[in-house]
Amino acid sequence: MSSTSIFLQIIFNGAMLGIQYSLIAVGFSLFFGVLDVINFAHGDIFMLGAFVSLTLINVTGLLNTSGATYVFLLILVIILSMIIVGGLGVFFERIVVKPVSKGPTLMSLVATLGLGIAIREAVRLFYPRGSETKRFPELLVKLFPGKEAIEFKGIILRYDNLLILAVGIIVVILLALYINKTKMGLTIRAVAQDAEAASMMGVNKNLIIDVTFFIGSALAALAGFMNGLYYNSIIFDMGAMAGIVGFSAAVIGGLGNIYGAIVGGFLFAMVESLSAALIPRGSEFMTVIAFAVVILFLVFRPSGILGERAYERV
């Protein structure tokens, strides 16, 4: 392999992780926008996404079908898992996140961390053999019979990975359009900017918060599904690290800014995959290096890449 093709392969691997991180980070940014809260349970919502979709795969008997039914059921599973997890996200928001968000910021931080622990443990305890690593079926391979990958400029691109990446990018674009072009998106932005003023203009603030949590949680569920497809295994505590990485990505990009979250997610993933490839013993230290980059970022760009410069009102 030439050095360019190695480089391209690193970029591709980074992009695969990056799209997942971005989808999680977007949730952090959205929630911070409308409720001024860091929802540390979001990583566990991501994990729930993976587990709910695995359950749905088993319930629908997806693996035994083929042809058009297979494609239809696959799409149904994805959409259903997003709806279920989105609903769960709204449920947790109603009973925990919104009540505590009125208190001091740090209280909400701890309460959502507690919620995350409860969700994680609930899966471990109540999911059948929940404490074991679960195999996640390679669903997408079946869509491309005969062929597995194409070669492009000397790098190997698996079809299923390409599909994951494409779906992720389409979802991100749809989200951006939704936030920027629709009326609902406008009201979300209005609540994010000034919740009080928005409710004076007749915006139903509580509904907007529900919608935001639904969207954010559904995107995390999609990320969880992708993660299952990418690694072919899921485990109950996969959300802990994912949540922290997602939060880091949202902060690098600038909390409250969706584009920032996406850029941050890709940046974090690129740093990880570059350091895994280029530095000796890099795969052991890649997260260390990524976090070091996060710290450097915060020092030199304290409000993130795309974040607004914070001025304090005195």
Partner 1 sequence: MKKESKFLDYIKIILVEIVAFFLFLFFLKIESIWIVIAAILLAILIYFLSKIYKEKFRALIELFSRYQNFAIGVLFILLIIYPFISPLIITHSTYWMLILIQTGIYIMIALGLNFQLGSTGMMNLATAAFYGIGAYTAGLLALKLGWTALLTIPLGGLAAAFAGLLLVIPIYRTKGHYLALVTLAFGFMLVLAADNIEIIGGPQGLKNIPPVNIFGYNFLTEIGSLHFYTNYYYLVLAILGITIFIFARLFNSWIGLTSAYIRDDEPAAKGCGININLRKLLVFVFGNFFMGVAGAIYAHMIGFISPPNFQFAQSLLIVAIVIIGGMDNILGVIVAAILLVVFPEKLRVVTEYRIFLYGILLVVTLILRPRGILPFGPRKYDSSILKFARKGGS
Q: Which residues bind partner 1 (CB under 8 A)?
A: 38, 96, 99-100, 102-107, 109-111, 113-122, 125, 240, 244, 247-248, 251, 255, 281, 284-285, 287-288, 291-292, 294-295, 298-299, 302-303, 312, 314
Closest separation in Å from C-beta 16 to partner 1: 22
Closest separation in Å from C-beta 6 to partner 1: 24
Amino acid, single-letter form, for residue 167: V
Tokens describing residue 25: 């980070």
Closest separation in Å from C-beta 100 to partner 1: 6
Closest separation in Å from C-beta 29 to partner 1: 12
Q: Quick one: 100 or 190, whose CB is closer to partner 1?
A: 100
Q: Quick one: 57 or 255, whose CB is closer to partner 1?
A: 255
Closest separation in Å from C-beta 37 to partner 1: 10
DSSP string covering 188-233, please? HHHHHH-HHHHHHTT--HHHHHHHHHHHHHHHHHHHHHHHHHHHSE
Q: Quick one: 223 or 249, whose CB is closer to partner 1?
A: 249
Smallest Cα–Cα separation from 46: which of 85, 90, 94, 98? 85
CB neighbour list of residue 254: distance below 8 Å, 6 or more residues apart: 260, 264, 303, 304, 305, 306, 307, 308
CA distance 137 to 122: 23
CB neighbour list of residue 90: distance below 8 Å, 6 or more residues apart: 210, 213, 214, 217
Closest separation in Å from C-beta 307 to partner 1: 10
Closest separation in Å from C-beta 264 to partner 1: 11
- DSSP assignment letter at 140: G
> Is the Cα torsion angle 264, 270, 275, 278 positive or negative in sign?
negative
Q: Quick one: 102 or 135, whose CB is closer to partner 1?
A: 102
CA distance 162 to 212: 28
Q: Quick one: 115 or 229, whose CB is closer to partner 1?
A: 115
55 sits in the region (left: phi over 0; alpha: psi -120 to 50; else beta) called alpha
Q: Quick one: 82 or 242, whose CB is closer to partner 1?
A: 242
